[in-house]
Amino acid sequence: VHLCLRKADQKLVILKQIPVEQMSKDERLAAQNECQVLKLLSHPNVIEYYENFLEDKALMIAMEYAPGGTLAEFIHKRCNSLLDEDTILHFFVQILLALHHVHTKQILHRDLKTQNILLDKHRMIVKIGDFGISKILSSKSKAYTVVGTPCYISPELCEGKPYNQKSDIWALGCVLYELASLKRAFEAANLPALVLKIMSGTFAPISDRYSPDLRQLILSMLNLDPSKRPQLNEIMAQAICIRPLLNLYTDVGSVKMRRQVTLPPQPEKPLAPVPTVTHSRTGGRASSARSRGVRCGSAKTGIPPPLSSIYTWGSGITTPLRLPMLNTEVVQVSAGRTQKAGVTKSGRLILWEAPPVGAAGGASLPGATEQLQPQFVSRFLEGQSGVTIKHVSCGDLFAACLTDRGIIMTFGSGSNGCLGHGNFTDVSQPKIVEALLGYEMVQVACGASHVLAVSNEREVFAWGRGDNGRLGLGSLECHNCPQQVTVPPEHEAQRVICGIDSSMVLTVKNQILACGSNRCNKLGLDRISSAEEPSPEDQVEEATVFMCAQSAPLNQEPIVCADIGTAHSAAVTASGHCYTFGSNQHGQLGTNSCRNSRVPHLVVGLETMKVTVVACGDAFTVAIGADGEVCTWGKGARGRLGRKDEETGVPRPVQLEETHPYLVTSVACCHGNTLLAVK
């Protein structure tokens, strides 16, 4: 835990550092839980949550700083000097209000103790914190796991029985007893003896200086029978708590006044000269520190050969355009409606952006007589120190990144809940999807307005827009937070694919599961056993849950790669054959006959290459061969195919400006654009 100064407002905050790389799944769940709980709470007597982020492979939680230390330290410093009853009740009712707020959010604290209760600098306002093992309960539900600090554990927890909010009330009784006696209600030399004490409910009485009402309140909260312990609102209604509660609302925040004593006038003294302060040493150090942080340009001694090349075409770029590189090797690329992104071998996220209209290298102004070749600027996404990215996927105006530690971060437009942060707010820098912190994710895919992700334990999660059933959750609802998707029990997810309005899962056994819009049978969900067109009753227009592809040969051959376009899809078999299915309005299925067929089509013209990867744009297809061949077919308008508009409906090669042998490491298509990485 670190005390830090926030530069934006010069405010002291606490940064809780949780090392992600050494964390087990249970520890990740605890970290996720703490973030989730803190975000739900907003109360003056609860430590405020600010934000979280990744830094140097650790999860950092920023929260409010309470400078007065803990209530346990406050009690310890009292030695044997008992507190007066008014002070005890002043602290107690604040804890009472905070716990009431927590319980109204259906949350159990489960670790309420004086070490987790903090004080302000005047030691008058208390704030409860440390929600690491808190539990969010559904209505009337009970928790079962044994957690908490032994001295404050309730009898039902000792017996392993289910428990609810009444266990927090037991802990609250222990805290009240500690305030009144300056020692714990239940202490013993070892755990078995402590459990026996708790189970018997025996503890020393508090001092006679305190009122019978206070003694009775402690006894009621430390009742062995949870059903006989009072509710929080019943405690608030007790006569002993009414006045402290009223005082709390009228006195907290009031300004203490002191009577000013009028002194006889003193003879005026001349003002002393202000001593001159020399800042040269400090200023010099700051200056030198800044100068060390600036990268010094070095003389070019020769341009090294590129480690990899990135090409793009489409949106008016008719032939492959080599994008600028930052002397690094890009191993994976992704394209969105407006974004072009890649991941380097060293784990950095690189973006390619077009200059604004009219700027040097930017798009031509309207009415210009000469069309210039568009230029792009490359840059690394900053602000992710120590975070290693291993995969990126782009949607429409947003993107998702996967780190080497299995954490998903998203940024961009929050419309439709695509970012998975539980809201619809835009985010400019990658932010952790907190709901998935308890899982080690292995892949993420973005559609136009929805996201799918898969964990190392083959769990599938979905969020974003739900039209057409694209999330596979059995409904058309939109979700702004990840939801676990039910996959048919006999299948295990290996990879997820998102389209405009549909989704696919490739299973461990190389089968296709799909949901969403099956327009023109673009998901292969129609029941087709031969080359004959399916009857109307065998056609599926939409699926709201994941179903197995039922169109032969997609349900007969092992599928190793697939992609979804706007109205068509493509799949690659283990033998290297490419099948296309869906609409062929623009020849995107790889045949010049614009047939209206729902039967999957084996693409001819690729016999000389073994297809390994396929990508689908809005109305075109790109196939990659094992030896680096690149072939395109479909709609040729605005440079979609990266080649001359001849025989657009059949596969033809795309020529890249490479003088050495190369391999294609990654390809991505979105709308009318293609992004290609070669090594």
Do 514 and 610 belong together in one domain?
yes
* Mean pLDDT value across residues 630-636: 94
Do 412 and 503 belong together in one domain?
yes
The better pLDDT of the pair 15, 504 is held by 504
Q: Is residue 263 part of a domain?
A: no
CB atoms within 10 A of CB 285: 10
CATH number, domain at 183? 1.10.510.10
**Amino acid type, 180:** A
* Mean pLDDT value across residues 504-526: 96
Q: Which pLDDT band, with edges at 50, 70 and 90, does 591 fall under?
A: confident
Determine phi and psi for 37, rounding to 5 degrees. -70, -45
Q: Is residue 482 predicted with pLDDT exceeding 60?
A: yes
Q: Is residue 17 part of a domain?
A: no
Last residue of a domain, one of 229, 251, 273: 251
CA dihedral (596, 599, 604, 606) positive or negative: positive
How far is residue 25's CA from residue 430's CA, in Å, rounded to a whole number? Answer: 22
Q: Is residue 396 predicted with pLDDT exceeding 80?
A: yes
Q: Is residue 283 part of a domain?
A: no
How far is residue 552's CA from residue 529's CA, in Å, rounded to a whole number? Answer: 5
Do 109 and 193 belong together in one domain?
yes
46 DSSP 8-state letter: B
Q: Is residue 304 predicted with pLDDT exceeding 70?
A: no
Mean pLDDT estimate for the chain: 84
How far is residue 473's CA from residue 484's CA, in Å, rounded to a whole number? Answer: 8
Strand partners, 15: 2, 62
pTM exceeds 0.85 for this model: no
Q: Which pLDDT band, with edges at 50, 70 and 90, does 383 fall under?
A: low
pLDDT digits (tens, 9 = 90+) for 41-70: 889 999 888 887 777 667 788 889 999 999
Q: Is residue 62 part of a domain?
A: no
% of the chain at pLDDT higher than 70: 84
Residues forming the active site: 111
Determine phi and psi for 112, rounding to 5 degrees. -75, 120
311 DSSP 8-state letter: E
Q: Is residue 247 part of a domain?
A: yes
How far is residue 135's CA from residue 517's CA, in Å, rounded to a whole number? Answer: 38
Length of the chain: 679
Q: HSE on the CB side for 271, CA within 13 Å?
A: 3
Cis peptide before 205 (omega within 30 of 0): no
Q: Is residue 474 part of a domain?
A: yes
CATH number, domain at 637? 2.130.10.30
Q: Is residue 320 part of a domain?
A: yes
528 DSSP 8-state letter: B
Give me the number of domains the chain comprises.
Answer: 2
CB 221 within 8 A of CB 240: no
The better pLDDT of the pair 356, 218 is held by 218
* Mean pLDDT value across residues 188-205: 87
Do 341 and 204 belong together in one domain?
no
User: What is the reported pLDDT for 235?
Assistant: 95
Q: Is residue 165 part of a domain?
A: yes
Do 334 and 222 belong together in one domain?
no
The better pLDDT of the pair 622, 607 is held by 622
Last residue of a domain, one of 215, 232, 251: 251
* Mean pLDDT value across residues 492-516: 97
* Mean pLDDT value across residues 355-376: 55
Do 215 and 347 belong together in one domain?
no
Do 507 and 578 belong together in one domain?
yes
Do 403 and 547 belong together in one domain?
yes
Domain limits for position 200: 71-251
Do 316 and 175 belong together in one domain?
no
Q: Which pLDDT band, with edges at 50, 70 and 90, does 397 fall under?
A: very high
Strand partners, 516: 502, 543
pLDDT digits (tens, 9 = 90+) for 249-286: 887 666 666 665 555 555 544 444 434 333 333 333 33
Last residue of a domain, one of 251, 280, 298: 251
* Mean pLDDT value across residues 401-416: 92
Do 167 and 244 belong together in one domain?
yes
Do 231 and 377 belong together in one domain?
no
Do 328 and 246 belong together in one domain?
no
CB 432 within 8 A of CB 59: yes
User: What is the reported pLDDT for 260?
Assistant: 58
User: What is the reported pLDDT for 582?
Assistant: 94
